[in-house]
Amino acid sequence: MRPFGFERPETLERAAGIVAAREDRAAPPPLSSAQFIAGGTNMADYMKLGVMRPNLLVDIGRLADPGLRRIAASPDGIRLGALVRMSEAEENADIRIGYPVIAESLQQAASQQIRNMASLGGNILQRTRCEYFRDISWACNKRDPGSGCAAMDGFNRQHAVLGVSDRCIATYHGDFAQALIALDASVETQSPRGGRTMAFSELHRLPGETPHVETQLMADELITLIDIPAKPWARRSHYLKIRDRQSYAFAVASVAVVLDLEDGAVRDVRIALGGLATVPWRAQEAEDELKGGPLDERTAGRAAEAAFAGAMPREHNAFKISLGRQALVRALLETRDMRV
């Protein structure tokens, strides 16, 4: 691991200020020479692999602001501090009962050990597990802009079929983010320029020409809060994760569904797909297909067709289109049949 400096500021303002004072403050966050760490699970991994080589770590894990660690449920919704550990959130009774899709997405992520360390804010920003990204001897536009993409014509079974560009087909591998998309969450951020709020679905950026720019955040900007509105569909919500082994594996395909049913008809539905796309992916075409009608295997199948109409497979991942469709059908039916 490359030697680096280490700072542990007391306040959020100070933490952001340290990064803002650096020469490369305008760099896209993944390329910045200063990196925030909270749980540190991703950063320690990337630094050992040489994928990220910051020369300063700013530890935000002990920032004093209690709001960063709070889970606050109210009739309007639930607000999750960015430093809440994944394991704390998955065990929270308000979340388990009121927003099951969140608890399910967290419980099926990583391992218990990692969930005990990892913060929600960090989890959202986790980078891809693309093998070509993780080994610095391969060409990778996301890691080294302009170097090319070895995955494009390489072994790309686990790669994305949605949201791809000719620069990058790396999958977004998180689980929690799909739940947030489905629940129509928003995030609050802080930087020396002040705070801002954005829809969670706006946070991540498609790879396009610049796969190394992964989110709307600036290098000195921190996620502080995740805000989830209380909506009629929050309770009837579900996360289905399909993987090659039963646990401790990334999704081959995953689906987050929130559903508002009235007399068997779909009043409202939101669907997010994971393991299939370059970013947390909202399947709006599938939602539109379902709204106002009955939900059964046939209508779910039509929605699934719509969800993958624009899919772009490579040599080894074409199966993800049929798997993704089937997973979507299964998730919709399982959500419909939930007892709430």
Partner 1 sequence: MKRLVSMTVNGEEIELAIPPYRTLLDVLRNEGRLTGTKKGCDVGDCGACTVIMDGSPVNSCLVLGIEAEGATIETIEGQHAGPDLPHLIQEKFMDHGGAQCGFCTPGIIMMTKALLKENPNPTESEVRFAIAGNICRCTGYAKIVDAVLAAAEDLRKGRTL
Partner 2 sequence: MNEAAPLPKGNMGEPVARIDARLKVTGDARYPADLPVRDVAHAVLVTSPIARGRLTQLHTEAARAVPGVLDIIAAGDVDGELERPQFGNSGSTSIAPLHDRRIWHDGQIVALVVAETFEAASEAAALVRADFQAEEPSSGFGSPGIEIIPAAGASPLYPENPEAGDFDAAWATAEISIDETYSTPTQHHNPMELFSTTASWFDGDVTVNESSQNVTGWKNTLARQLKVDPEHVRVVSPYVGGAFGSRGPMTPRTAIIAHAARRLGRPVRCVVTRKQAYTTQTYRAETRHHIRMGAMKDGRIVAFRHEGWELTSRPDNYVVGGTGTTARMYGYGAVETKVSLVKADRNTPSYMRSPPETPYVYALENAMDEMAVALAMDPVEFRRVNDTMTEPIEGKPFSSRSLMECYDQAAEAFGWNRRTRGIGSMRDGDWLVGMGCATAVYPTNVAPCTARVRLTADGRIRVQSGSHEIGTGIRTVAAQMAAERLGAPFWSVEVEMGDSSLPPAPVSGGSTSTASVCSAVMKACDAIRARLFHAAVTANDGPLSGLAPADLGIADGRIVAGARVEAVANAMERMGVGEIEEYAEFAPEGSSADAIANLYKGKLEMRMGEEGAKVKYAFGAEFVEVRIHRLTRETRVSRLVGAFAAGRIMNPRTARSQLMGGMIWGVGCALHEATEMDRHSARYVNTDLQDYLVPVNADIQDVKVILVEEKDTDVNPAGVKGLGELGNVGTPAAVASAVYHATGKRIRDLPIRIEDLL
Is 81 in contact with 215 (CB distance < 8 Å)? no
- Pick the closer one to partner 2 by CB: 22 or 157: 157
Q: Does 129 bind partner 1 (CB under 8 A)?
A: no
Phi/psi of residue 23, nearest 5 degrees: -60, -40
Gyration radius from the chain CA atoms: 19
Among 280, 249, 84, which Cα is nearest to 172's? Answer: 280
What track of x and - describes contact with partner 2 for positions 113 through 132 (by CB under 8 A)?
----------------x-xx
Residue in the structure block whose two tokens are 């896209």: 28
What track of x and - describes contact with partner 2 for positions 232 through 271 (by CB under 8 A)?
----------xxxxxxxxx-xx------------------
Is 244 in contact with 275 (CB distance < 8 Å)? no
Phi/psi of residue 58, nearest 5 degrees: -110, 110
Q: Does 147 bind partner 2 (CB under 8 A)?
A: no
CA dihedral (302, 304, 309, 314) positive or negative: negative
Q: Does 337 bind partner 2 (CB under 8 A)?
A: no
Is 241 in contact with 251 (CB distance < 8 Å)? yes
Of the candidate spans 136-144, 158-166, 244-252, 305-313, the one that interacts with partner 1 by CB under 8 A turns out to be: 244-252
Q: Does 2 bind partner 1 (CB under 8 A)?
A: yes
Is 308 in contact with 299 (CB distance < 8 Å)? no
Q: Which of residues 64, 199, 248, 292 is near partner 1 by CB under 8 A?
A: 248
Residue 89's H or E segment, with its range, is: helix 86-91
Distance between CA atoms of residues 238 and 335, nearest Å: 6
- Pick the closer one to partner 1 by CB: 112 or 197: 112
Of the candidate spans 108-116, 177-185, 288-296, 309-317, the one that interacts with partner 1 by CB under 8 A turns out to be: 108-116
Binding stretches for partner 2 (CB under 8 A): 1-3, 48, 50, 129, 131-132, 134-138, 150, 153-155, 157-158, 242-250, 252-253, 319, 322-323, 326-327, 329-330
Binding stretches for partner 1 (CB under 8 A): 1-6, 37, 40-41, 44-45, 47-49, 57, 59, 61, 87, 110-114, 116-117, 246-248
